[in-house]
Structure 1
Amino acid sequence: MKNNKGLKVFIIVAIVAVFLGGKEILSKKDSDSSSLEESLALLNDLSEKYNYDDDEDFSSNDTFTKIFAKSLNKNKVSASKNTKSPYISVIYITGVISEENKTYNQKWLLKQIKNAKEDSNNYGIMLKIDSPGGTVYESDEAYLALQDYKRETERPVYAYFCSLAASGGYYIGCSANYIYANRNTLTGSIGVIAGQSVDATGLLDKMGIKMTTITAGKNKNMGNYNAPLTQEQRAIFQSIADEAYEQFTGIVAEARDMSLSNVKELADGRIYTAKQAKENGLVDAVCSFENAKDDIREDFDEEINFIEYKYRYEENWMSLLSGASSFVKNPEASVYELLGKSGAKCLYLYQ
């Protein structure tokens, strides 16, 4: 039997891979929710189910098991976290808000909100925000998902602002029934970046470089560095910014129960300290994270736990080599990727 051990291990790995691919065993959750012991138990269960009759049980001393167990702990395939007692989901919103980057993942965030909505033991959501903001689309999508959560479950949403909760970070925070801020928080930055234009035509002329872009549509090339921005194109960008700004200020006015004119007096793009934000009605309380949790517990008649969910991007040597290679070949594209594929999208972003 020992001679066939390698083949049997291979079969076990193949079986587990099928399970993972079908998402029948594991789901995308916080990586802290799975453990080495759970991984070992999974392997042992599968070995029994598929007649892995080798007399050597999987153990923490098995090199193969350690390697495979580590793979189970990756953020994208970590095991579900179940609880039978009432709890608040503490969902981290960290870094630039975009489709996906190394600190933020939109699909992951929406999945956590959906999981909380469908769990009867979930009593609310607490957003722990440390973000300069990001794209308009993703910020609004997250905000609407949280509003939908509140409407369908009639459960509260709380927000706690860490060192920075600006622009799109504040936008998402407006979904909360109550906003707490650390005393060192910088927040606000209620404004919009609709486009940026760098006119490099003078430099190109000095260097003797002639560049021609063939387009159909007179404004198709607007914002490109090889052509100056016309007044019409400036107006186009401004109209986009104005529309997004009206949406942003309207959200703030509704969430904070303020008049739109009062919000617009505050919404000139500047950031506020926690103390200034509270004085201006942008947050409700200034305190530590633990004090915020203690305050939330008072809203419930029974004991409430807080379970944290934090997106984790696992870097590996292949992705590092790939990133370095991409940067050498195309540094502009790498910066674009770093910003979360935001490109020329409209941004609620503090710079």
Structure 2
Amino acid sequence: MKKFFISFLATLAGIWFSLLLAIFGIFIVAAAAIAHSAGSSTVDIKDNSILRIDLSGSILDRQPKIDFMSIIKEEDKGITILSDITGSIEAASTDDRIKGIVINCSGSAAGLAQRSAIIESLHKFKQTAPDKWIYAYGDSYTQGDYYIASAADSLFINPIGSVDVRGLSATTLFFHKFLEKIGVDVQVVKVGTYKSAVEPFILDNMSEPSREQQQLYLDNIWETINSTIAESRGVDVAKVNEWADNFIFTKDPKEYIDARIVDALVYRHEFDQKLADLTGHDKIKDIDYVSVADYAKTADISTVGNGKGAEIAILYACGDITDESGNGIVAADMVPEILDLAENDDIDALIMYVNSPGGSAFASEQIWEALQQFKKLTGKPFYVSMSDYAASGGYYISCGADKIFAQPVTLTGSIGIFGMIPNAHRLLSDKLGINTGTVKTNANGNFPSIMDPMTPAEASAMQAYVERGYDLFTKRCAEGRHISQDSIKKIGEGRVWDGREALRIGLVDELGGLDAAIAAMAKQLNVESYTISTYPNPKQKWYASIIEAAGSDIKAAIVRNELGEMSSLYETLERVKGMSTLQCRMDFVDVTL
């Protein structure tokens, strides 16, 4: 009995000690989160300062939610917000304290439309402030960074650096043979000849319609990028194609000068000394740099003029479209947000910024309807600004706008619907030796099931279901674009279009980024001064992030402990379970720049 009590007390002490450690850890995390969210609100900007744009890490459309684990690991330090970059560039053009802009190229991760938005801001800067300069430097330039850097007045590179210009590509992985080997059949129902999102699961190679659409939009996007670089560097497009076709990253950097790829070969300290000279300093260490993140805090980039003419709301719709959960566009959250905006008397107009490849057809319809309610209840103008993607469900939620803006490099359209039901009967029975026995009251009592293939009746019912969804999708597009449903179906078929083609066929109204949409909205409102407000609010209580992460961590720990090696299968099934039956989603296309 004595040993029992000693063991019992020792266990209690261990539990209390662990609990104290956990509480202490939470306080540390809370302090880190509070400090992170508070940040520095004041930035001292001196005369002859240089606005520094660091092209490194990830460029995001907007500030993400607080993630306390990322804060602890300092993973969020490599993130730059697109609006901070573009807003700071515009503000710097009229700020006498800013002497010029330097672009440090270190390999950033960004979408094509995001890069185009930065280039547009740099061109506007040069027009507004012709007496100021833009310089770019890189030890080596990735193609994406070079695309942006080409807008600079002068490009500098390390004497043993390289420039990568090679054109565009998009690669699709096909899993059909793998699924065959493990005994899984993917049953597909879809509408749209070009709806290629299902192809990786049912084909071994790219279909001709898929290849046709990809070739067209890649050629058009490359033409945009090519002509932008050529115009900025003072060469013709044939010359840029020559760079792309001749492995210029392998060439001696000395050849870059004559080819007008760059303007000078200098080491970093030599470039820094040049900046010191331009800003009136003898020593490099005396240069006054200001980052876009710091400058955005003090420049009030959300206000034009005195800001009192109007308030324009920017609603960010970024990521996969889901019904009730996820990190992207969640209908259960987005719909109330839109309806709240409809009741907000302070705002005068709404612009929805869309960067989404689509997702749930049901969720897309709910968001579309909420936006229609906004228009009906308020009578206020509603525009859409498309970023890298606004395809399938991303186009569904956009089609009802009064005016749609897209970048030439935007991927949009993909008006089509599909559903996929895996059949794992062969995997379970032939590979794993698992058989099932089912009792049901009606013929379709266990439909859909991953244990058995669809019957002809089930397949026919699902096809009719998908076609009804497609009919509704095309009807919404026809109503929004004020053209016949038959015309929409002709340009639909699940086909993905680039922004230029989308303008030609009537899916969008104008080419341009968010700045262009805001300028057009201000013109419609007949105001020269306005304030931008952004929604949804990414800020949250610090403890909400901790509780959310702690809950998921605890659940994950239990799953891993109970299921062991099978936990990965459980996590995969959980993700699949979160997907709705009908999907308005374009195929995953990662255009390599």
Q: Summarize deviations over 1:207-249 as a string: whole Å, max 9, x none.
A: 4332223322222333423212211111011011011000000
How many residues of Structure 1 are paired with residues of Structure 2 in the alignment?
Answer: 273
Match runs of 1:172-321 below 5 Å: 172-201=397-426, 204-302=429-527, 303-310=529-536, 312=538, 316=546, 317-321=549-553
Secondary structure of 1:308's counterpart equals strand
Match runs of 1:83-232 below 5 Å: 86-98=310-322, 99-201=324-426, 204-232=429-457
Indicate how the Cα distance of structure 1 residues 262 and 162 shifts in structure 2: closer, same or farther if over 3 A, else same: same
Post-superposition shift, 1:271?
Answer: 1.1
For residue 349 of structure 1, what is the aligned residue in structure 2? 585
**1:160 touches 1:289 (CA, 8 Å); kept in 2?**
yes
Q: Summarize deviations over 1:17-73 as a string: whole Å, max 9, x none.
A: xxxxxxxxxxxxxxxxxx759xxxxxxxxxxxxxxxxxxxxxxxxxxxxx9xx9xxx
CA–CA separation in structure 1 for the residues paired with 2:554 and 2:345: 43
Indicate how the Cα distance of structure 1 residues 185 and 137 shifts in structure 2: closer, same or farther if over 3 A, else same: same
For residue 49 of structure 1, what is the aligned residue in structure 2? none
CA–CA separation in structure 1 for the residues paired with 2:434 and 2:365: 42
CA–CA separation in structure 1 for the residues paired with 2:490 and 2:559: 42
Secondary structure of 2:397's counterpart equals helix
Letter in 2 for 1:318: A
Q: TM-score, normalization: structure 2?
A: 0.43
Indicate how the Cα distance of structure 1 residues 84 and 36 shifts in structure 2: closer, same or farther if over 3 A, else same: farther
**2:386 touches 2:513 (CA, 8 Å); kept in 1?**
no
Indicate how the Cα distance of structure 1 residues 228 and 279 shifts in structure 2: closer, same or farther if over 3 A, else same: same
CA–CA separation in structure 1 for the residues paired with 2:558 and 2:312: 41
CA–CA separation in structure 2 for the residues paired with 1:326 and 1:125: 44
Post-superposition shift, 1:199?
Answer: 4.5
Indicate how the Cα distance of structure 1 residues 97 and 117 shifts in structure 2: closer, same or farther if over 3 A, else same: same
- 539, 552, 556: which one aligns with 1:324: 556
Letter in 1 for 2:557: S
**2:358 touches 2:390 (CA, 8 Å); kept in 1?**
yes
Indicate how the Cα distance of structure 1 residues 332 and 88 shifts in structure 2: closer, same or farther if over 3 A, else same: farther
Q: TM-score, normalization: structure 1?
A: 0.70
CA–CA separation in structure 2 for the residues paired with 1:207 and 1:332: 14
Indicate how the Cα distance of structure 1 residues 111 and 190 shifts in structure 2: closer, same or farther if over 3 A, else same: same
For residue 32 of structure 1, what is the aligned residue in structure 2? none
Secondary structure of 1:210's counterpart equals coil
Q: Summarize deviations over 1:326-348 as a string: whole Å, max 9, x none.
A: 764454553455468224x2221
Match runs of 1:19-58 below 5 Å: 36=38
Letter in 1 for 2:484: S
Indicate how the Cα distance of structure 1 residues 339 and 105 shifts in structure 2: closer, same or farther if over 3 A, else same: farther
Secondary structure of 1:173's counterpart equals coil
Secondary structure of 1:146's counterpart equals helix
**1:96 touches 1:339 (CA, 8 Å); kept in 2?**
no
CA–CA separation in structure 2 for the residues paired with 1:211 and 1:287: 56
CA–CA separation in structure 1 for the residues paired with 2:330 and 2:494: 25
**1:187 touches 1:277 (CA, 8 Å); kept in 2?**
yes
Q: Structure 2 regions of 5+ residues with no counterpart?
A: 1-36, 40-67, 72-306, 588-593
Letter in 2 for 1:349: R
| The structure with more radius of gyration | 2
Instruction: Considering Cα pairs closer than 8 Å and 6+ residues apart, tell me whether 1 or 2 has the greater RCO.
Output: 1
Structure having the higher strand fraction is 2
**1:198 touches 1:224 (CA, 8 Å); kept in 2?**
yes
Letter in 2 for 1:341: G
Runs of 4+ in 1 over 6 A off after TM superposition: none
Worse-superposed segment, 178-187 or 287-296: 287-296
- Identity over aligned residues, as a percent? 26
For residue 257 of structure 2, what is the aligned residue in structure 1? none
CA–CA separation in structure 2 for the residues paired with 1:157 and 1:250: 19
CA–CA separation in structure 1 for the residues paired with 2:397 and 2:513: 20
**1:150 touches 1:156 (CA, 8 Å); kept in 2?**
yes
Post-superposition shift, 1:201?
Answer: 2.8
For residue 571 of structure 2, what is the aligned residue in structure 1? 334
